[in-house]
Structure 1
Amino acid sequence: MKIALLRVFYVVALVLALPIGMAAAQSADPFEYGWNLDGDASELRFLSVKKQKVAETSSFATLSGLITEDGQAQVRVLLDSVDTKVDLRNVRMRFLFFETFRYPEAVITTQLSPDLLTDLHLTRRKEIELPYTFTLRGVTLERTTDVAVTLIDNDRVVVSSITPIAFTLEELDLEEGRMKLQEAANVDITPIGVVSFNFVFDRAQPGTPPDLPEATLTPAAVALEEKGVMTEEACLGRFEILSKTGNIFFASGSTRLDDKSIPLLENLYDIVDRCPSFRLEIAGHTDSVGSDAQNQTISERRAASVASWLQDKGIPSDRLVAVGYGESRPIVDNDTPANRARNRRIEFTALTE
Structure 2
Amino acid sequence: MRFIVAVLLVCSSALCQADWHVLADSSRVSFVSVKRGNIADVHRFRNVAGVIDGQGAARITLPFADLDSGLALRDERMRELLFEVTRFAHAELSANVDLPHWERMRVGEVQATTLEFQLDLHGHRQRLKADVLVSRLGEKRMQVATLEPILIKAELFELEGGLLKLQELAGLPSIASEVPVWAVLDFQQRP
Identify the TM-score tier after normalising by the shorter chain.
0.7 to 0.9
Q: What is the TM-score normalised by the length of structure 1?
A: 0.48
Q: What is the TM-score normalised by the length of structure 2?
A: 0.87
Q: How do residues 183-262 of structure 1 correspond to structure 2 at under 5 angstroms?
A: 183-187=168-172, 188-204=174-190, 208=191
TM superposition shift of 1:185: 0.8
Distance in 2 of aligned mates of 1:118 and 1:81 = 31
TM superposition shift of 1:117: 2.7
Please name the residue that 2:67 is paired with: 82
Q: Which has the higher strand share?
A: 2
Q: Is residue 129 of structure 2 the alignment partner of residue 144 of structure 1?
A: yes
Please name the residue that 1:100 is paired with: 85
Q: How do residues 1-353 of structure 1 correspond to structure 2 at under 5 angstroms?
A: 33-114=18-99, 116-117=101-102, 119-121=104-106, 124-187=109-172, 188-204=174-190, 208=191
Helix, strand or coil for the counterpart of 2:163?
helix
**1:27-51 superposed Cα distances (whole Å, 9 cap, x missing partner):** xxxxx51211111211000111000
C-alpha contact 2:54 2:99 (8 A) present in aligned 1: no
Helix, strand or coil for the counterpart of 2:82?
helix
TM superposition shift of 1:105: 0.7
State percent identity of aligned pairs.
26
Highest relative contact order (Cα 8 Å, sep 6+), 1 or 2? 2
Structure whose CA Rg is larger: 1
Distance in 2 of aligned mates of 1:45 and 1:181 = 19
Distance in 1 of aligned mates of 2:134 and 2:141 = 11
**1:306-347 superposed Cα distances (whole Å, 9 cap, x missing partner):** xxxxxxxxxxxxxxxxxxxxxxxxxxxxxxxxxxxxxxxxxx
Helix, strand or coil for the counterpart of 2:188?
strand
Q: Which runs of 5+ in 1 are unaligned?
A: 1-31, 209-353
Distance in 1 of aligned mates of 2:82 and 2:124 = 15
Helix, strand or coil for the counterpart of 2:183?
strand
Q: Which has the higher helix share?
A: 1
Distance in 1 of aligned mates of 2:89 and 2:107 = 40
Distance in 1 of aligned mates of 2:120 and 2:129 = 14
After the TM superposition, which segments of 4 or more aligned residues of structure 1 sit over 6 Å from their partners?
Answer: none
Q: Which runs of 5+ in 2 are unaligned?
A: 1-16
Helix, strand or coil for the counterpart of 2:25?
coil
Distance in 2 of aligned mates of 1:77 and 1:167 = 15
